[in-house]
Structure 1
Amino acid sequence: MEDQVNRLVAKMWAKFQETPASQRLMIAVSGIPGSGKTTLAAKVASRLNDLHHEKLPGLASCSAVAAFVPMDGYHLTRAQLSAMPDPHTAHARRGAAFTFDAPAFLELVKKLREPLCPESGTIYAPSFDHATKDPVADDIPIAATARIVVFEGNYLSLGTGAPEWREAAEAMDELWFVDVAHDVARQRLIKRHVASGIASDETEAARRADENDLVNGKEIIEGRLEVQEVIDSKEDSSWRAPAQDLGPDKRDG
């Protein structure tokens, strides 16, 4: 993974140098559940901030130049799922595209696309609370000084379903897709569902992976728009992220 991260960071740093001061550079990292997209996106954002401080040491105490924004906060709440015509299926399929608030995500993207000026303030995105199993509004600050935004989520290169997914994707400067072998993703999903307590054992975890996560994965692959980067995810420790850092439908990205 390290070589891939270094290449992508170098590419985006060069692109950032050409980005007008009034604009943000926006990258969306997508992939099927278990692909490792969260790990990759977080590392790229962190390395871009390290590079920024290295190049401009006098600004080391200033706000980060890159913000990492996961899509987890755009899950519909449990109350919203319960209000759907088929609440049982809605809860069982939590993590599917229809269980996310695509219009709200698009609204965030549009706000971040507005020109930056001296009066620009901090914009906030929602996060996800694992204790309540619901989103938390306005919990991720994106300062005006954060001129690179690295988004992460299953449906960020989706061209089918709700039209907001395509519109948000088309507003990005780059779309990246983390590719992974089906069997590798399935084994990661089984392990993480057990480790996180979503499933009580590997049998239950495998059923959830097959009946929800990988069903979603099929939609993600079949509906994928053209992307600028396809990154291969291998089965090694560098592609694993801490379970507590991720959303309800994914641990390891």
Structure 2
Amino acid sequence: MEQVIKELVEHTNQKLSTLPSKTRLLISVSGIPGSGKTTLARRVTEGLNAVSKIGDVAAMIPMDGYHLTRATLSAMPDPIEAHARRGAPFTFDPVSLKLLIQQVKAPLEEEERLIYAPSFDHAIKDPVEDDIKILSSQRVLIFEGNYLSMGTDVWGDIARLFDELWFVEVDRGIARERLIARHLKAGLADTREAAAKRADENDLPNGDYLVANGLKPHRVIRSVEDQEYARSG
């Protein structure tokens, strides 16, 4: 894992060095639920900042902030289905996500200009507006989320805005076990059976949809089975 992160950090730094000083490098990290994309994105972001000589040069932006709120799901024609399928493409707001990516893709200005992105509060299970601050000095933005390499509808427009698409590949069985453990830990299920049902009926079908409709990534990273990856998305 350490060698993979080192190589990705070196690759990203080299790519950044070829860009004009007012241009950002936008990378997406996608994969099926339980693939480990969150850990990969975070580790690469931390690695870039650790070797930077000018302060934080990278930031990670999770797609989770673009979940539709629980209130919005409750107002849908079939609220029970909407809540049960939370995490499926239709339970996100890709239009707002696209607007953010277009905003950060614009050439940087001479003066500091803060841009804000939403986060997701797992305690209240809803997004938090303007919770992630994006600085002008952060020229590498690593977005992570299931559908950031998908080619359909607005998601396809989003994917094509990135400079590079990274896809984290994982065995379906490993992803399933990670999801079961995650759902139990987060209190989304009381029993292993209930957690497995959620994985089998929502998470893994969502991953299958991504794989069936994904664009060809620039890089495929194989997920490894270590303790940190086992906890990640």
The root-mean-square deviation of aligned C-alpha atoms, in Å, is: 1.0
Structure-1 residue corresponding to 2:105: 113
Q: Does 1:42 align with 2:42?
A: yes
Note the C-alpha offset of 1:28: 0.1
Note the C-alpha offset of 1:236: 1.7
Note the C-alpha offset of 1:240: 3.5
Instruction: For 2:123 and 2:175, locate their aligned partners in 1 and report how far apart those are by CA, in whole Å.
Output: 26
Number of equivalenced pairs? 233
Task: Write the mapping of 1:1-253 to structure 2, written as runs, cut at 5 A.
Answer: 1-52=1-52, 56=53, 59=54, 62=55, 64-160=56-152, 163-241=153-231, 252-253=232-233
* 3-state SS in 2 of match to 1:213: helix
Q: What one-letter code is carried by the residue in structure 1 that aligns with 2:109?
A: C
Note the C-alpha offset of 1:234: 2.2
5+ residue gaps, structure 2? none
Instruction: For 1:77 and 1:108, locate their aligned partners in 2 and report how far apart those are by CA, in whole Å.
Output: 18
Q: What one-letter code is carried by the residue in structure 1 that aligns with 2:76?
A: M
8 Å contact from structure 1 (residues 39, 240) kept in 2: no
Structure-2 residue corresponding to 1:245: none
Q: What one-letter code is carried by the residue in structure 1 that aligns with 2:42?
A: A
Instruction: For 1:124 and 1:171, locate their aligned partners in 2 and report how far apart those are by CA, in whole Å.
Output: 18
5+ residue gaps, structure 1? 242-251
Instruction: For 2:122 and 2:181, locate their aligned partners in 1 and report how far apart those are by CA, in whole Å.
Output: 18
Note the C-alpha offset of 1:51: 1.0
Deviations 1:162-186 (A, max 9, x none): x221111111110000000010000
* 3-state SS in 2 of match to 1:91: helix
Q: What one-letter code is carried by the residue in structure 1 that aligns with 2:96?
A: A
Deviations 1:199-220 (A, max 9, x none): 0010000000000000101001
* 3-state SS in 2 of match to 1:16: helix
Note the C-alpha offset of 1:120: 4.6
Deviations 1:119-160 (A, max 9, x none): 351100000112221101000000111100000000000012
Deviations 1:45-81 (A, max 9, x none): 00000111xxx2xx3xx4x110110011000000110
After the TM superposition, list the runs of 4 or more consecutive aligned residues in structure 1 that deviate by more than 6 angstroms: none
Q: If the length of structure 1 is used for normalisation, what is the TM-score? A: 0.90
* 3-state SS in 1 of match to 2:83: helix
Instruction: For 1:174 and 1:120, locate their aligned partners in 2 and report how far apart those are by CA, in whole Å.
Output: 25
Instruction: For 1:25 and 1:120, locate their aligned partners in 2 and report how far apart those are by CA, in whole Å.
Output: 17
